[in-house]
Amino acid sequence: MTTYGSFPGTRPRRLRTTPVMRRMVAETRLHPADFILPAFVREGVREPVPIAAMPGVVQHTRDTLKKAAAEAVEAGISGIMLFGVPEEEKKDALGTVGTDPDGILQVALRDVRAEVGDDLLVMSDLCLDEFTDHGHCGVLDDEGRVDNDATLERYAEMAQVQADAGAHVVGPSGMMDGQIGVVRDALDQIGREDVAVLAYTAKYASAFYGPFREAVGSSLKGDRKTYQQDAANTRESMRELALDLAEGADMVMVKPAGPYLDILAKVAEAVDVPVAAYQISGEYSMIEAAAEKGWIDRDRAILEALTGIKRAGARNILTYWATEVARTLR
């Protein structure tokens, strides 16, 4: 006599027999609204510039960026996160072009907002690294170290000009202490309580950022280990999370996504605000490169990676495949 609850009476494979059965019992589902598209816009180019280290991704012109935003709306994704790439000669030690109302990022924000209105969340990266001649995310002191508090003054100004340019959401990504509170206060001072703050809460000093450096034309010398988090640490992320929430973060994010799913799961379990994860350039490029070699099934690998990120607790995912995958899902 078979005892209930043991083999052969219990056979979990019954719930895997057909595609319809597997779909019905799926615990995690991807949806177009889950996705946010990171996009780069480059000043002074007439045609999109392919990013060699990120096959299929380009530095947009202003016109092609507007087209990409319109396609994102059509695909049903939730947002687009903009990164500006200025002309090299415009970079300086303070990242001045990052707070110039006519700087490439602010111009692009106005372009995209005019194109899509409120049909797509227009988000802006709030950091200095794209705009400084040294490539760091902040202002340097006399000894070449990133000056946290001087950098916060620049972030406050950036937040205000980005909001004025049309950003629905700003994403402070420099990992400076106190950045969320300073940005929130700066927005409120100009009556922009409606602009949300997506905190880059757990942003690790990762080797997987490599292709991104090409994407933004980074001038970085050295590394960012004195302000981005150490890959060995977990409790540090939870401390950063508590601080960001106390300072007024509307949403929080873990970056990178794939190598830090344990951190993502802990963050998602701990909070009652939306949690995002950024599937970064290295994660994207590894799959594309392996697929190009014929070593993996590209489409299946993409969906598997994204499903893993959502299963770990991400409500939203920043991914360079956002529009493509959203079309597939629809």
Q: How far apart are CA 107 and CA 276, in angstroms?
A: 26
For residue 253, give Cα distances in angstroms to 18, 75, 224: 36, 23, 18
- Alpha helices (H) along the chain: 19-24, 62-75, 104-116, 148-165, 179-189, 210-215, 235-246, 261-270, 281-292, 298-311, 322-329
Q: How far apart are CA 53 and CA 284, in angstroms?
A: 10
Q: How far apart are CA 164 and CA 167, in angstroms?
A: 7
Two structure tokens written together for 204: 């690790």
- CB atoms under 10 Å from CB of 242, counted, come to 13
The half-sphere exposure of 38 on its side-chain side, counting CA atoms within 13 A, is 21
The half-sphere exposure of 228 on its side-chain side, counting CA atoms within 13 A, is 21
Spatial contact of 112 and 122, defined as CB atoms under 8 Å apart: yes
Sign of CA dihedral 276, 114, 84, 286: positive
- CB atoms under 10 Å from CB of 32, counted, come to 18
Two structure tokens written together for 277: 């994860």
Name the catalytic one among 66, 203, 266, 310: 203
Spatial contact of 318 and 279, defined as CB atoms under 8 Å apart: yes
- Residue 266 appears among annotated catalytic residues: no
Please list the residues that pair with 202 across neighbouring strands: 254
Name the catalytic one among 66, 67, 90, 255: 255
Nearest to 305 by CA among 241, 257, 252, 253: 257
Q: How far apart are CA 142 and CA 204, in angstroms?
A: 26
- Residue 255 appears among annotated catalytic residues: yes
Q: Which residues are catalytic?
A: 203, 255
